[in-house]
């Protein structure tokens, strides 16, 4: 399987040396000039958060209790190509290698997570399309193992696109996935969403305890973020203050290229309202991540030492610490210690 470094089959040792945990250089955030268009919406939201008194509810937990015994994480951005699938596969794989039983739910008819982890869409008969249909197939009956021990997959098929159209006519249509996940017993369930705010994504929002929003660092990357946050508020029945005061979501910066200083500065300026809601871990642009997807492997098995592998390891540690803080559930000491060596938010 060509695995290198210290990532060993089914042992839980990821190479978490201090060297690997250093985040890429952060850019200082400066006063930003005029704010226009979609970007202004972000700042308007920020202003309204800080002009209203906190309500005090929903401080620590999801307002919608997990529909599953597992910690359910939706990976969402209605923009295409922001790194949702890459993040689903590599964060899930990292957690599985760290010893956590993890399920990836491929909720995208493109089936990129399914293909990306090495499962041939013609090699299974039933998929999330049948789970989301009437009559509903129990999800446990479509789950497949992957080549990584502890990492399972609920595969997608192109038929899911047709099923999504039919879902619009059903009552309680936004709760179908939450019901399907009931009774599953994993440590983590990651849902890879399609690039839209349609009924599949709304199902993922309803079912999840936490939301990861991968944002590619590019000129238009933050367009639509305000709309996405509004959807979260509506589906989760959260006020904007609650959304920001609870740990309900994190933005993940992806495809970071330190050479693009002007673009990076622009994005960080625009993201300033979300500084506390942005993972300190940043995923740098790295060709190996592309190649790993073509090779249908997690990055740790394709090139353990590349920066893509390092960045996703760092993200996994930060994610586990956040999970620990939020749920009070235990994570290994070495994870807590490793995280203690890092900064936890963008410096500004
Ligand atoms: N950090 C990175 N460096 C280089 N290439 C990357 C990186 N992250 C993702 N890619 C590549 O960018 C492309 C889009 O990534 P990905 O499929 O994860 O995005 P997505 O948000 O799931 O897309 P979609 O909206 O179509 O589902 C893929 O070819 C992937 O290999
Ligand atoms: Mg995708």
The model's pLDDT over 194-230, given as tens digits with 9 standing for 90+, comes to 999 999 999 999 999 999 999 998 777 778 888 899 8
Distance CA 112, CA 121 (A): 10
Task: Specify the pTM.
Answer: 0.82
335 vs 201 pLDDT, higher one: 201
Q: Residue 80: CB within 6 Å of ligand 1?
A: yes
* Structure confidence at residue 68 (pLDDT): 63
> Would you tell me the crossing angle of helices 287-294 and 307-327 to the nearest 10 degrees?
90
278-299: pLDDT as tens digits? 999 999 999 999 999 999 999 9
Question: Given a cut of 70, is residue 341 above it in pLDDT?
Answer: no
Distance CA 301, CA 296 (A): 10
Distance CA 193, CA 84 (A): 7
* Structure confidence at residue 94 (pLDDT): 95
CB atoms within 10 A of CB 31: 6
The residues that bridge with 141 in the sheet, in sequence order, are: none
Question: Given a cut of 90, is residue 102 above it in pLDDT?
Answer: yes
When pLDDT is averaged across residues 298-317 and rounded to a whole number, the result is: 95
What are the strands of the beta sheet with 188-192, ordered from one edge? 144-145, 151-154, 102-106, 188-192, 71-75, 210-216, 249-254
Q: Where are the domains of the chain?
A: 68-339
- Among 33-37, 49-53, 151-155, 202-206, name the one with the lowest average pLDDT: 33-37
Token pair recorded at residue 246: 């609870």
Q: How far is CA 94 from the centre of its chain?
A: 13
DSSP 8-state class, residue 223: T
- Among 25-39, 125-139, 170-184, 310-324, name the one with the lowest average pLDDT: 25-39
Place of tokens 């495809």: 255
* Structure confidence at residue 337 (pLDDT): 65
186 vs 35 pLDDT, higher one: 186
Q: Which residues, 6+ apart, have CB-to-CB distance to 324 below 8 Å?
A: 330, 331, 335, 336
Rg (CA), the chain: 19
Question: Given a cut of 90, is residue 80 above it in pLDDT?
Answer: yes
Question: Given a cut of 90, is residue 170 above it in pLDDT?
Answer: no
Backbone angles phi, psi at 214, to 5 degrees: -70, 130
- Among 10-19, 150-159, 294-303, name the one with the lowest average pLDDT: 10-19
Of 260, 338, 312, 243, which is closest to residue 93 (Cα–Cα)? 312
Q: Which residues, 6+ apart, have CB-to-CB distance to 342 below 8 Å?
A: 21, 22, 23, 280, 281, 314, 317, 318
Token pair recorded at residue 189: 């369930």
What angle is formed at CA 163 by the lines to CA 66 and CA 123, rounded to 5 degrees? 90
Q: Which of 106, 290, 303 for a ligand 1 pocket mutation test, highest count of atoms within 8 Å of Cβ? A: 290
* Structure confidence at residue 278 (pLDDT): 94
CB atoms within 10 A of CB 189: 27
* Structure confidence at residue 67 (pLDDT): 52
Q: Residue 289: CB within 6 Å of ligand 1?
A: yes
Q: Supply the residue whose CA is at minimum distance from atom 18 of ligand 1.
A: 83
CB atoms within 10 A of CB 258: 12
* Structure confidence at residue 3 (pLDDT): 38
CATH classification number, 68-339, choose in 3.40.630.30, 3.40.50.300, 1.10.150.300, 3.40.50.2300 = 3.40.50.300
For residue 94, report the distance from its CA to the centre of ligand 1, in Å. 17
Question: Given a cut of 60, is residue 13 above it in pLDDT?
Answer: no
When pLDDT is averaged across residues 147-176 and rounded to a whole number, the result is: 92
When pLDDT is averaged across residues 136-149 and rounded to a whole number, the result is: 94
Q: Is 73 helix (H, G, I), strand (E, B) or coil?
A: strand
> Please, which residues have CB less than 5 A from ligand 2, an ion?
84-85, 112
Question: Given a cut of 70, is residue 318 above it in pLDDT?
Answer: yes
Write the CA distances from 42 to 10, 27, 174, 217, 256, integer angstroms.
43, 20, 26, 16, 21
249-267: pLDDT as tens digits? 999 999 999 898 888 888 8
Q: Residue 85: CB within 6 Å of ligand 1?
A: yes
Q: Residue 152: CB within 6 Å of ligand 1?
A: no
């Amino acid at each position: 399987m060509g695995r290198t470094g210290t990532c060993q089959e089914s042992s839980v040792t990821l190479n978490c040396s201090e060297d690997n945990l250093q985040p890429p250089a952060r850019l200082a955030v400066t006063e930003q000039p005029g704010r226009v268009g979609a970007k202004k919406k972000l700042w308007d939201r920020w202003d309204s958060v800080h002009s209203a008194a906190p309500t005090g509810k929903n401080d620590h937990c999801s307002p919608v209790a997990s529909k599953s015994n597992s910690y359910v994480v939706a990976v969402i951005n209605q923009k295409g190509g922001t790194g949702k699938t890459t993040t689903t596969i590599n964060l899930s794989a990292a957690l599985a290698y760290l010893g956590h039983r993890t399920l990836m739910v491929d909720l995208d008819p493109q089936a990129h997570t399914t293909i990306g982890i090495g499962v041939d869409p013609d090699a299974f008969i039933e998929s999330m399309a049948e789970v989301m249909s009437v009559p509903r197939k129990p999800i446990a009956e479509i789950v497949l193992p992957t080549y990584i021990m502890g990492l399972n997959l609920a595969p997608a098929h192109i038929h899911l696109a047709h099923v999504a159209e039919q879902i619009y006519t059903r009552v309680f249509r936004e709760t179908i996935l939450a019901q399907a996940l009931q009774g599953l017993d994993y440590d983590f369930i990651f849902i890879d969403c399609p690039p839209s705010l349609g009924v599949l994504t709304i199902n993922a929002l309803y079912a999840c305890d936490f939301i990861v929003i991968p944002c590619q660092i590019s000129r238009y990357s933050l367009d639509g973020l305000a709309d996405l946050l509004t959807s979260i508020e509506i589906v989760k029945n959260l006020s904007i203050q609650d959304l920001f005061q609870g740990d309900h979501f994190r933005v993940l910066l992806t495809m970071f290229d330190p050479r693009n200083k002007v673009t990076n500065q622009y994005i960080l300026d625009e993201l300033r309202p979300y500084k506390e809601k942005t993972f300190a871990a940043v995923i740098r642009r790295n060709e190996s991540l592309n190649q790993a997807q073509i090779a249908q492997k997690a990055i740790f098995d394709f090139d353990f030492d590349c920066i893509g592998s390092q960045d996703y390891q760092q993200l996994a540690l930060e994610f586990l610490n956040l999970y620990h803080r939020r749920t009070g559930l235990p994570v290994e000491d070495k994870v807590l210690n490793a995280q203690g060596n890092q900064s936890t938010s963008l410096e500004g």
